[in-house]
Chains A and B, each alone.
Chain A
Amino acid sequence: MPQTARSEQRSFMTGNEVVARAALAAGAEYMFGYPITPQNEIMHYWRRLAPRYQRGFLQTEDELSAGFACLGAVLRGKIAFSATAGPGTVLFQEPLSMAEMMRLPVVVIVQQRGGPSTATVIYSQQEVTLTCFGGNGEGLRLVYSTSSHQELYDYTIKAFHQAWRYRFPTFVLGDGYQAKMREALFLYNPEDRGMGAVPARPLLGHKGSNGNGEPQLHLRNAFSVEEELAEILRKHLADFDEAAPYLEEHEFIGEPGANLLVVAHGIVGRAAREAVEELRREGKKVNFFRPLTLRPFPEKALQQALANSNRSMLVVESAQGQLGSLCRLASGHEALQRFDTFYRPGVGITTEEIREAVTL
């Protein structure tokens, strides 16, 4: 496979280009997509770069088709992905529910825009619930929330690996700011960092153990008996719980004895981290927690962070409590001392605003 990046190349580009380059570096073979702002340039860059590396691209007639085309490619053992946003993420739910049911490792990059409906093409963090739990099922998905171009590159590559390793549909949740802004990052070839190839292989068409081949997979999407469904879901849920400790990731800054834990994810995490670091330099006892996986949510890590922060938290997000709900659920049985919120649905949040929102 021709190398897609010179080793450790420091570059300055938009987040959308970062995603296209990460997908190339990870060895993605096909992108199926339908245009929507603010992810369009992922498609544009991919379409421009893909032919140089013998990769494929198809613009489908809508997001449903893009999603199902990904499923088809993945069944054939091809590393496939798509990218979408806002109303597109809504349309993606049907193929993604099927991917959950059949455990198909599709990767989707979501660049959140304002909602509900068409709303803005700009930015929000309002697609958290949709990305984690948008299907008619149990949210058997892996969701990474990135906060910088470096993470966008690292975790887009990782998404392909984890999707195929654990066979859950996997998301990289960015936003319009990350999509459109330019900043520096290191591009690299995953092999140079000791990462092997994405463990992709055909999921259908095996000869079966009777023919001395791999056992055939029986991937079902429809059941005639309740108990049949229950049995397979039990297995999927058990797999998800078993994998969770290996999948969960978070960032924590702080130490025991703090008065407050500021929690934010994605791009808002940058503002929150900066605010907390400033306050800490001024001697304030504030800690910082950022879930890097929203699904599975780093529950134990959050509880530990809360134990170090007087069980008091301030949740900051560009949505009306979507992260807040996840945090409440993950905070454990013991009552919280404080649950403060700074919710700005559909609007960016600055460091200065978070500093003002912190009361000790």
Chain B
Amino acid sequence: MHSWKVVVAGEGGQGVQALAESLALAAFRGGFEALYIPNFGIEQRGGVSLAMVQISPKAIGAPKFLLADLVVALSARSISRTRQYRGANTIFIYDSSLVKAPEISDEVVGLQAYDTIAPEAFAERTAYHEEGPVKELRIARSIAIPAADMARRELHPRVFNMIILGAIVAVVKMVTLEQVKEALAEKLERRFKADPQLRELNFRALQLGYEQVAGPVHTAV
């Protein structure tokens, strides 16, 4: 694929924006055009936090889009919240440890529990407006990562979003793990300095998530 349109969604405090920003920054450092835009507004008050990232070798047009190439959901609510961005060509990564079984299957995504209505859905969109009960579209591929469980078991609960970011890198391929690590080091410079273990923890989480998608990676010691 020559460019990526990515939607990342989760609960406020899960690090959705930091994750998306790091991805965009890594792509920028890698020489691509990158655009990151947060959906800001209600999320500080308990809504779903959503971010959009575009990566392209060419100039990027509108900051927002209707359908994503990759949708990433970090919480159960954000699965339904991001439904509108999933189409036939969309790859979907979700944290399976946060999601109840019936809400997900590999073919049909987000059948249950529409507990939030996407704000965008309030606005009439002529071309994509559907009447009556909403049909779920088939998507290209669904990737379940039990990130929260893995983080709790193997690392630390707070780095579960880095496991997801590692998985994103393995799918997107336009950025390398090294570039993402550099972006994180740049973004979290002060926190990494204050706590060098945090750096190691984040990088290991990235690697773990990456390997969940790409398979084990043997790095030279």
A-side residues, CB < 8 A to B, are 12, 38, 120-122, 176-177, 180-184, 267-268, 270-271, 273-274, 344, 347-353, 356-357
Contacts and interface: CB of A to CB of B under 8 A. Distances in A.
Contact of B36 (A182, A344, A350): A182
Interface of B: 21, 24-25, 28-29, 33-41, 60-67, 120, 123, 125-127
What are the 6 tightest A-B residue pairs by CB atom distance, in nearest-first order? A274-B61, A271-B62, A356-B127, A181-B37, A12-B28, A347-B123
Given A347-B123, A353-B127, A181 B63 contact: yes
Contacts of A177: 37, 63-64
Nearest to B67: A352
Tell me what chain B mostly uses at the interface: helix, strand, loop, or mixed.
mixed
B66 A181 contact: no
Given A177-B37, A353-B125, A348 B64 contact: yes
A107 to B, nearest CB: 25
A356 B25 contact: no
A268 B61 CA distance: 9
13 contacts: A180-B38, A181-B36, A183-B34, A184-B28, A270-B61, A270-B62, A271-B61, A274-B62, A348-B62, A348-B63, A348-B64, A350-B66, A352-B127
Contacts of B67: 352
A351 B36 contact: no
Nearest to A184: B28
B65 A352 contact: yes
Contact of B40 (A38, A182, A268, A347): A38
Most chain A CB neighbours (cut-off 10 Å) among B60, B62, B125: B62
Given A12-B24, A12-B25, A183-B60, A351 B37 contact: no
A162 B170 CA distance: 49
Q: Which of A120, A184, A268, A356 has the most CB of B within 10 A?
A: A184
Contact of A121 (B28, B40, B64, B126): B40
A349 to B, nearest CB: 7
Interface centre among B25, B63, B126 (most CB of A within 10 A): B63
A184 B62 contact: no
A180 B37 contact: yes
A183 B41 CA distance: 20
